[in-house]
Structure 1
Amino acid sequence: MSEEEEPGWEVEPDDEWGVAVIATVGRQLRLRREALGMRAAEFARAVGYSEDMVYKIESGKRIPRPEYLDKADKVLDAGGLLSAMKEDVEKVRYPKKVRALAEREAKAVEIKLYDPLNIHGLLQTPEYARALLLMRRPAYSSEEVERFLSARMARKSIFERDPAPEISFVLEEWTLRRPLGGREVLRRQLEHLAMAGQLRGVELQVMPMDCEEHAGLAGGIEVLKFADGSAVGRSPAVVNGRPVEEPRHLRILELRYGSIRAQALTPRESTTFIEHLLGAT
C-alpha cells in the first residue's frame, strides 16, 4: 500500500488532549502552506499523499504519520518546527487508556505483573500480539488492530530505560503451551521469553498447572511503585479493576502477588521450564 493510499488514524472523540494536539498540528500545517501560497493539490503531490488526506489532516480529522510531518517540514521550509511535533503526535496515535498506562510504566521503579489469561503484553512478540488482537470478538477493525499493536510494542521501551525498573512477571503454564497464532508464532514467543528472562532487573516465574494451591484465581494483578514511595495497583478482584492507591487495597494486591510468586517455580526453574517447552515445540 502506498503512502497516499494508507489512511491516517482518527483521534478518539473522548481524548480531549489528543483532539487538541491534532487540531493544532493541522492548523499549523494549513497556515504554513497558505503562507507560501501553495494550493492543497500541489502540496499533496509534494508530500506523496492524496489531496483528500491533506484536507483531513489539516482539519484535525486524521493523525498524520511521522513521515508526513518530516516531508511537510521540508516542503514548507519550516526549519524543523513541524518535525518537532512528531513526539506529541506519536502519543496521540495510541489509545487514550494505553497511553495513560504507558506513562505510569515509564515512571515506575518497580513493577509486579500477573496475567492469568495471556502472556503479558510487555512480553509479547508482534506476531503473538497481532494474533491475540485478531481473535478478539467482536472483531477490531484493521485500523484498531494496527493501532493497538503499535501501542503495545511502544510500551516495550520500558526495558531500555537506564536505570531500568525492577520487573517481576508470573506466567501461567497453559499460556506457554497453547499455540495461539500457530506453532511457529508460539516458538518465537518462547524464544523471546527466554531472552527476556536474561535481562537485568527482569524476573520471570511460571505457575505450573499441577500446582495444588493458587492465590491468583481471583484475576490478574498489576502493582507499580514509584521513586517517591507512592504506588498504584489494579486487579479485577479489587474495586472492579479500577486503579487503586489506598494502602489497604495495595496491601491486598501485594499479599496475593507475594503468595503467587511463592507458589510458582523459581526464576531459574522457570527458565529451564521455558527451554524445555522450546525443545518440544
Structure 2
Amino acid sequence: MDPDDDWGVAVIATVGRQLKLRREAVGLRAAEFGAAIGYGEDLVYKIEGGKRIPRPEYLDRADEVLSAGGLLAAMKEDVKRVRYPKKVRDLAQMEAKAVEIGVYECNSISGLLQTPEHARVLFEAAQPPYSEDEVERMVAARMARQSVFDRDPAPSISFVLEEAPVRRPLGGTMVWRRQLERLVEVGRMRNVTLQVMPMHCETHSGLDGRIELLKFADGTAVGRSDGAFSNRPVSDLRQLRILELRYGTIRAQALPPRESLVLIEQLLGET
C-alpha cells in the first residue's frame, strides 16, 4: 500500500487482522493454512501483517477453509475499493463525475486510451523496476478508469496526442497494432474527439507537459498541468482560465479529428 494512503492502509490492516484471528481460532499455523488454500507461508504472513493486498480468490478460499460463513469473502468489496493506488482512485472518482473531460498528452498515449498490453510495457520499462505485483496492480487500475466510456449519459471527452508516441511501436508490432486499433475505435465514438498534434508543428502551448481538464454538472471544474501550478489540481477560476486557454490553443493547432483518424488508420495499414 502507499504509505500516505491512510484509509487504504487501515482497510488492509483490518482485513489482515481478521484473517489472522480466524486462522488462530481454528488452530491452524500459517504454513498449514497456506497449504490448505494454495498459497505460500510467506504470503500468508504478509497479508495478515497488512503488507500485501489479498486477491478475491484468496479471501474466497480463506472463507471456505476457516468456515467463516461468508464473513471473510464479504471483505472483497472493501479490498476492491483500495486495490488501486490512492491518486488513481481519486482521479477515477473525479472522471466518473465529470461531464466534460479534456486531455493533452505529450510523452505517451493517454492512460484512458491505452490497451492493457501497452500499459504493461510502459510500467515494465520504469526504472527502478516495479515488482510484478505492482505492475499488475497499476495495469488493473488504469483499465478500471476506462469505465468512463461506458457511462450513460456519456461525458464529452476530447484528447490531443502527440504524433511521436502514436508512431512509436511500443511493445512490438502486435502490441502497437492493437493500440492503434483502440485509438481508431475510441476516436469513432460519438462523444469523443481525438486529435493528433503533427510533428511538423514547430511550437505549441503544450511543450511543457500534460494538461487535464475536468468539468462537472454543477459548473465547477478541476484542472492539472505538468507545466503549471506545480502539477497540483487547481479549481481557482483564474488558474483554470490559463489551462483552458492553453488547451484550446493546442486543439486549434492539432490536426482536425477526421485527419487525425486518417493518420492513425494509415499507420495501422502499414503495420
Same fold by TM-score greater than 0.5:
yes
Whether 1:23 aligns to 2:13 is: yes
Moved more, 94-103 or 255-264: 94-103
Write the distance in 2 (CA, Å) between the matches of 1:79 and 1:230: 46
Write the distance in 2 (CA, Å) between the matches of 1:124 and 1:158: 13
Moved more, 56-65 or 190-199: 56-65
**What is the aligned residue count?**
271
Shift of 1:127: 1.7
Equivalent position of 2:134 in the other structure: 144
Q: Which aligned runs of 4 or more in structure 1 are off by greater than 6 angstroms?
A: none
Whether 1:12 aligns to 2:2 is: yes
Equivalent position of 1:157 in the other structure: 147
**Percentage identity across aligned positions?**
69
- Partner amino acid for 1:63? I
Write the distance in 1 (CA, Å) between the matches of 2:100 and 2:25: 50
Moved more, 156-165 or 231-240: 156-165
Unaligned runs of 5+ in 2: none
Equivalent position of 2:185 in the other structure: 195
Q: Is the 8 A contact 1:113 1:222 kept in 2?
A: yes
Whether 1:268 aligns to 2:258 is: yes
**What secondary structure sits across from 1:222 in the alignment?**
strand
TM-score of the aligned structures, taking structure 2 as reference length: 0.91
TM-score of the aligned structures, taking structure 1 as reference length: 0.88
Whether 1:228 aligns to 2:234 is: no
Write the distance in 2 (CA, Å) between the matches of 1:200 and 1:26: 45
**What secondary structure sits across from 2:212 in the alignment?**
strand
Shift of 1:83: 2.2
**What secondary structure sits across from 1:225 in the alignment?**
strand
**What secondary structure sits across from 2:109 in the alignment?**
coil
Q: CA RMSD in A?
A: 1.9
Equivalent position of 2:235 in the other structure: 245
Equivalent position of 2:95 in the other structure: 105
- Partner amino acid for 1:28? Q
Relative to structure 1, the CA distance from residue 140 to residue 27 in structure 2 (aligned partners, 3 Å threshold; closer, same or farther) is closer
Equivalent position of 1:83 in the other structure: 73
Moved more, 242-251 or 157-166: 157-166
Relative to structure 1, the CA distance from residue 163 to residue 85 in structure 2 (aligned partners, 3 Å threshold; closer, same or farther) is farther
